Amino acid sequence: MAQSNLYSRVLGTGSYLPPNRVTNQDLADRLAKQGIETSDEWIVARTGIHARHFADPDVTTSDLALIAAQRAIESADIDPQTIDLIVVATSTPDFVFPSVACLLQDKLQIKNGGAAFDIQAVCSGFAYAVATVDALIRSGQHRTALIVGAETFSRILDFNDRTTCVLFGDGAGAVILQASDEPGVVASALHADGSYTNILCTPGHVNGGIVAGSAFLHMDGQAVFKLAVNVLEKVALEALEKANMSPDQVDWLIPHQANIRIMSHTCRKLGLPQERMIVTVGEHGNTSAASIPLALDFAVRDGRIKRGQNVLIEGVGGGFTWGASVIRY
């Protein structure tokens, strides 16, 4: 039975970036060998990205998720055996199945039979996971949840396509959410419009034991840009309205880290000073479902985000999907 005074609260955060840091110049040199021109100047001016991290070939999404999860568990100071729900937001899972969440449960040696599943909402995956897990905790069905956004997008990048391969990176971010009589996640809003499949997709699929179709990420950047700026402002305001809050009560905005131009636009539209936005896109690139929890963990650990502050997270991505949550940290 749902209890009206039951909330889910962030107990701890963690994140992990694989050590291989690839600068724009590194990428420009690599592409030049294939006769493709790009530059640090173009990438910085159009996206705000200076570098991204790529996982080594034998490292999987669940490997990145494991380290982020261990760090979140440590910061929450809980016994991992009390985690009764694991949700991993990813579009680059280790396998077709089982889910990364199940692999992670095993890697963490959690033996309590709790639930584990993946959420596939691309760059909105973490926002989708927070809203879903919050509902499962508020209903009383689960008490202590591990949410991870983890990606190895480098695996689906076409390094012959300069319009996409310079944008994305690998990484993982995690949070522990636990039932509490204090908020917590205050309100969330989620949306999707499946008619936009073609502007952002990785259409390859397994058929007859082989990958049929392109397994590379395809994006119409300008179409995505236009849609993103439109829906991000709306969904942020929707979540704030549900939380009975106005934008000036937001201490920190954590947008999905895709492009500094999109992020700054939303921040301006909400009337927030740019200093109240957490920005990691410059060093992480776009890590899809991992970008928000990575940024959250960085800002918690460097002391910017403090207990009691209001954090607005928002994401947009393939599907098309978009979502936002207001979280009292």
Identify whether 286 is a catalytic site residue: yes
Q: Is 100 in the site for ligand UT7 (CB under 6 A)?
A: no
Binding to ligand UT7 in span 14-53, by CB under 6 A: 38, 42, 46-47
Q: Could you give the string, one character per residue 169-208, with x where binding to ligand UT7 holds by CB under 6 A and - elsewhere? A: ----------------------------------------
Distance CA 103, CA 61 (A): 10
What is the nearest approach in angstroms of ligand UT7 to the Cβ of residue 34? Answer: 13
Identify whether 230 is a catalytic site residue: no
Q: Of 123, 279, 289, 327, which lies in the binding site for ligand UT7, with binding defined by CB under 6 A?
A: 123
Task: Locate 86 and state its tokens.
Answer: 């694991």
What is the nearest approach in angstroms of ligand UT7 to the Cβ of residue 317? Answer: 4
Q: Which residue of the set 256, 259, 267, 310 is catalytic?
A: 256
Task: Locate 125 and state its tokens.
Answer: 């995956």
Q: Is 262 in the site for ligand UT7 (CB under 6 A)?
A: yes
Q: Which residue of the set 102, 123, 165, 201 is catalytic?
A: 123
Q: Which stretch binds ligand UT7 (CB under 6 A): 170-178, 185-193, 217-225, 232-240?
A: 217-225
Instruction: For 38-165, list the strands marked E by DSSP.
Output: 51-53, 85-89, 115-119, 144-152
Considering the complex, state which of residue 225 and residue 298 has its C-beta at the smaller distance from ligand UT7.
Answer: 225
Identify whether 123 is a catalytic site residue: yes
Distance CA 328, CA 243 (A): 10
Binding to ligand UT7 in span 136-155, by CB under 6 A: none
> Which residue has its beta carbon closest to ligand UT7?
221
CB-based contact 105:114 (threshold 8 Å)? yes
Q: Is 290 in the site for ligand UT7 (CB under 6 A)?
A: no
Torsion sign (Cα): 61, 63, 69, 75: negative
Q: Is the peptide bond before 184 cis (omega within 30 degrees of 0)?
A: yes
Q: Which stretch binds ligand UT7 (CB under 6 A): 5-13, 70-78, 131-139, 220-228?
A: 220-228
SS3 breakdown of the chain: % helix, strand, coil, rounded to 5? 40, 25, 35
Instruction: For the chain, list the strands marked E by DSSP.
Output: 7-16, 21-23, 51-53, 85-89, 115-119, 144-152, 170-180, 185-192, 200-201, 205-207, 210-212, 218-219, 252-255, 310-317, 321-328
From residue 256, alpha-carbon distances to 38, 112, 229, 294 in Å are 24, 33, 12, 10
Considering the complex, state which of residue 46 and residue 191 has its C-beta at the smaller distance from ligand UT7.
Answer: 46
What is the nearest approach in angstroms of ligand UT7 to the Cβ of residue 223? Answer: 8
From residue 225, alpha-carbon distances to 79, 232, 260, 304 in Å are 42, 11, 11, 29
Q: Which stretch binds ligand UT7 (CB under 6 A): 131-139, 160-168, 179-187, 266-274?
A: 160-168
Catalytic positions, written as ranges: 123, 256, 286
**Residue ranges that bind ligand UT7, judged by CB under 6 A:** 38, 42, 46-47, 123, 162-163, 166, 221-222, 224-225, 228, 258-259, 262, 286, 316-317
